[in-house]
Amino acid sequence: MRQYLQEIQIRKDLLVYLVQSGLKAENRNSYLGYFWWLLDPLLNVLVYYFLVGVLLDRGGDNFAVFLVIGLVAWRWINTTVNGSAKAILKYSSIINQVYLPKAIFPMTITSTQLINFAFGLIIIASFLIATGTVPGWQVIFLPVIILIQYVFLLAISLFLAYVAVFIRDVDNILSHVTRVFFYASPIIWEGGRLGPAAEDNVWIDILVTVNPIAHIVTGYRDILMEQSMPEWTGLLLIGFFSILAIVILIYYYSRNEHKIIKAL
């Protein structure tokens, strides 16, 4: 495994190149180009604000900020998960010609979407300024939550990229799985925002308690709009188990690279 990590370190320039090429490819044929990195999350916020806040009248106080934080955090999750299944498969022609550590490719997906998420933070900052919402000193912990989300998504990406090589149906299932998690997580809703009947609903409490996405999104909101400390126990557990999963998956990659090549 040490030798495998050294191979990844040696090819760090390739990782940087793949991230850069991935960013260029996302908007290569669009007229607005990189402006979509700002426009896409903004349009998502406007659509869901109209749906939930205007049509359903379930927005509540400061719902615009609540919504933009949830949707920007979710966008990073959604794009990474859906892109991970093809992370290795789309480079099969290169992999069959030259040896490369296969773990580099899912790392590329997660890192590329991290940069997209950084542009989403600009949209969040714009909403905070427009609504007069001032984060407290707790904002210094924002990089910690970003790091926790990064290792969480990296673990998922490594797993999905490997499994998809052998089970191609994974790619077709993921869009449905992510849709379930979107509505099962407090992205556009919060207990009281669903209505009075939801406030005492024990299933909603359980759903939020065991859902890592809920902890991450709520952590962002605590820091950026509630001026309070996030619930660190859940976040640190997510970070710990994500790092543990990454170590196990990297080890598994190092021992099974030949199986990936054969499957491709």
pLDDT value, residue 153: 96
**pLDDT above 70 coverage of the chain, percent:** 86
Residue 252 reports pLDDT greater than 50: yes
Give the span between the Cα atoms of 60 and 75, in whole angstroms.
23
Nearest to 183 by CA among 62, 40, 51: 51
* pLDDT on residue 202: 57
Q: Where are the beta strands (DSSP E) in the chain?
A: none
pLDDT at 224 over 90: yes
Task: Flag whether pLDDT at 28 surpasses 50.
Answer: yes
Segment 113-123, tens digit of pLDDT = 998 899 889 99
How many other C-beta atoms lie within 10 A of the C-beta of residue 148? 25
Q: Quote the tokens at residue 169.
A: 């149906």
Q: Is 217 within 8 Å of 146 (Cβ atoms)? A: no
User: Is the CB of residue 60 less than 8 Å from the CB of residue 193?
Assistant: yes
pLDDT per residue over 174-196, tens digit each? 888 888 888 888 888 765 444 44
At residue 31 the predicted structure's pLDDT band, cuts being 50, 70 and 90, is: low
Higher pLDDT pick, 263 / 140: 140
Fill in the DSSP letter of residue 50. Answer: I
Question: How many structural domains comprise the chain?
Answer: 1
pLDDT at 226 over 90: no
Q: What is the DSSP string of 92-108?
A: HHHHTTS---TTHHHHH
Amino acid 186 reads P
* Per-residue pLDDT, 238: 95
> Ranked by mean pLDDT, which of 88-92, 145-149, 177-181, 199-203 comes out on top?
145-149
Is residue 241's pLDDT more than 80? Answer: yes
Residue type, 106: P
As a whole number, mean pLDDT of residues 129-150 equals 92
Q: Specify the pLDDT at position 149.
A: 96
255 is in which domain, residue-wise?
A: 1-263
Q: Taking a C-beta distance cutoff of 8 angstroms, is the pair 168, 75 a contact?
A: no
